[in-house]
Amino acid sequence: MKRIFSGMQPTNRLTLGNYLGALKNWVKMQDEHGTQCIYCVVDLHANTTGYNPGTLKNATREVAAAYIAAGVNPEKSIIFAQSSVPGHAQLGWMLSCITPLGWLNRMTQFKDKAGKDKEKASAGLYTYPTLMAADVLLYHATHVPVGDDQKQHVELMRDIAISFNQHIAGRDFFPVPDPVIMGEATRVMSLRDGTQKMSKSAESDMTRINLTDDADMISQKIKKAKTDAGLVPASEAECEGRPEARNLLTIYAALSDTSREAVMAEYGGQQFSAFKNALSDLTVATMAPITGRMRELMADPTEMDRILGASAVKANEIAEPILKNAMDIMGFWRA
Ligand code: AMP
Ligand code: TRP
């Protein structure tokens, strides 16, 4: 059986990048036969770049609501908050003790997020990837659907699993999880700079489409998206050196479940204004039902908490025996 695990941080609003790069694939995987999906809101990770105790719980509910609104079925898949299963932090610590500093030093996300003054970054931001490894290994998950930016972290968790199996367990205790990076939009770029990832934490809101934006906002952002003086590219060769144009084509392809090639066959050679109108209509048509459903779910926090609570029990039932075995292998006392 395939066991899928993935997560998103409840920091700021989710973006179209989160949806196309990850969430849309999560829904597809949930509907594949013989898979069990565990989709976590990784609130422990959200603390690595600052604390917001007053708003964190609601942010967690909102991300869970986005999962459901996008099509994750809470009856079929497990949707829960990372902090509600203590095993994440416990296994995270255990794995951090078998992870060489040299491996963590290679992580590009730390370099990006820590900024210029690394001395001020939290220790949690630095050990973030070992907690992420624990998230997946705690469930003996086999597949990890993520956007392209998380590939390095999944590779690290594979190394950690192999190292634990070889040097500590002496057997294949943890399955070595595979990254699943699929679809046309594995890396959605900023609407203002085609060389930067679309990010929920970028300063300017005009760089991204949020899952909570209304139709007007979406069309304004797409209209103002950076392009160039040429026409819509008609081939991959014409996309060369035009990252903004390529990005808009990629978004269109991912939203309509086709390829960039097919979109270029339809719009190549046209003015950007016409293409942007079509893209804006398509984005609104896809996002409006999701946004609407999210709003309904968020209007009933008690129901959201019930879903998160019930799923946490199921998650814990899977995690608990695996954690106990891992503790046993490492020679710890277990209750
Ligand atoms: P995060 O927002 O960092 O918690 O990311 C949650 C998931 O969304 C991860 O699987 C990321 O790889 C994915 N993701 C975030 N931003 C993008 C983007 N701009 N393009 C594609 N995938 C993304
Ligand atoms: N690091 C991931 C991100 O920022 C979020 C995450 C945490 C995650 N734990 C995970 C993703 C486990 C997949 C599996 O996007």
Q: How many CB atoms lie within 10 A of CB 271?
A: 13
Average of per-residue pLDDT across 188-209: 96
Average of per-residue pLDDT across 37-59: 95
* Residue 335, pLDDT above cutoff 80: no
- Does residue 153 have its Cβ closer than 6 Å to ligand 2? yes
Q: Any idea which fold 205-296 has?
A: Tyrosyl-Transfer RNA Synthetase (1.10.240)
Provide CATH 3.40.50.620 ranges for the chain: 2-180+301-329
Please tell me the number of the ligand nearest to residue 40's CA: 2
* Residue 193, pLDDT above cutoff 80: yes
Short-list 77, 41, 86, CA closest to 59: 41
CA 118 – ligand 2 centroid, Å: 22
pLDDT of residue 207: 98
Query: Among the listed ranges 45-54, 166-175, 318-327, which one has the minimum average pLDDT value?
Result: 45-54
Ligand 1 atom, smallest distance to 150 CA: 12
* Residue 25, pLDDT above cutoff 80: yes
Residue 76 annotated to the active site: no
Ligand 1 atom, smallest distance to 186 CA: 21
Beta bridge partners of 144: 179
pLDDT of residue 291: 93
CA 281 – ligand 2 centroid, Å: 31
* Residue 13, pLDDT above cutoff 90: no
Expressed in angstroms, the distance from the first to the final Cα of the chain is: 29
> Token pair of 175, please?
């399955």
Residue 221 annotated to the active site: no
Model confidence at 50, pLDDT cuts 50, 70, 90, reads confident
Average of per-residue pLDDT across 260-279: 98
Distance of CA 4 to the CA centre of its chain: 13
| Minimal-distance CA residue to ligand 2 atom 8 | 7
Of 2, 28, 57, 113, which one is the catalytic site residue? Answer: 113
Tens digits of per-residue pLDDT, 282-310? 999 999 999 999 999 999 999 999 999 99
> Token pair of 81, please?
């908050």
* Residue 120, pLDDT above cutoff 80: yes
Please tell me the number of the ligand nearest to residue 197's CA: 1
8 Å CB contact between 185 and 253: yes
Per the document, the length of the chain is: 335
CATH of domain 2-180+301-329: 3.40.50.620
Residue 113 annotated to the active site: yes
pLDDT of residue 71: 97
Task: Name the burial class of residue 146, with classes exposed (0-12), middle (13-18) and buried (19+) by CB atoms within 10 angstroms of its CB.
Answer: buried
- Does residue 183 have its Cβ closer than 6 Å to ligand 1? no
In the predicted model, what is the mean pLDDT of the chain? 96
CA 22 – ligand 1 centroid, Å: 6
- Does residue 151 have its Cβ closer than 6 Å to ligand 1? no
Provide CATH 1.10.240.10 ranges for the chain: 205-296
Pairing between β-strand 78-81 and β-strand 143-145 as defined by DSSP bridges? unpaired
> Token pair of 143, please?
């597949």
3-state SS of the chain is: CEEEEEEECCCCCCEHHHHHHHHHHHHHHHCCCCEEEEEEECHHHHHHHCCCHHHHHHHHHHHHHHHHHHCCCCCCCEEEEHHHCCHHHHHHHHHHCCCCHHHHHCCHHHHHHHCCCHHHCCHHHHHHHHHHHHHHHCCCCCEEECCHHHHHHHHHHHHHHHHHHHHHHCCCCCCCCEEECCCCCCCCECCCCCCCECCCCCCCHHHCCECCCCHHHHHHHHHCCCCCCCCCCCCHHHHCCCHHHHHHHHHHHHHCCCCHHHHHHHHCCCCHHHHHHHHHHHHHHHHHHHHHHHHHHHCCHHHHHHHHHHHHHHHHHHHHHHHHHHHHHHCCCCC
Average of per-residue pLDDT across 109-115: 92
Ligand 2 atom, smallest distance to 132 CA: 9
* Residue 75, pLDDT above cutoff 80: yes
Question: Rounded to an integer, what distance in angstroms lies between the CA atom of residue 283 and that of residue 252?
Answer: 8
- Does residue 150 have its Cβ closer than 6 Å to ligand 1? yes
Please tell me the number of the ligand nearest to residue 156's CA: 2
CA 92 – ligand 2 centroid, Å: 13
Residue 255 half-sphere exposure toward CB, CA atoms < 13 A: 21
Average of per-residue pLDDT across 144-151: 97
CA 103 – ligand 1 centroid, Å: 22
Average of per-residue pLDDT across 166-179: 98
| Minimal-distance CA residue to ligand 2 atom 3 | 8
Q: Tell me the whole-structure pTM to 2 decimals.
A: 0.96
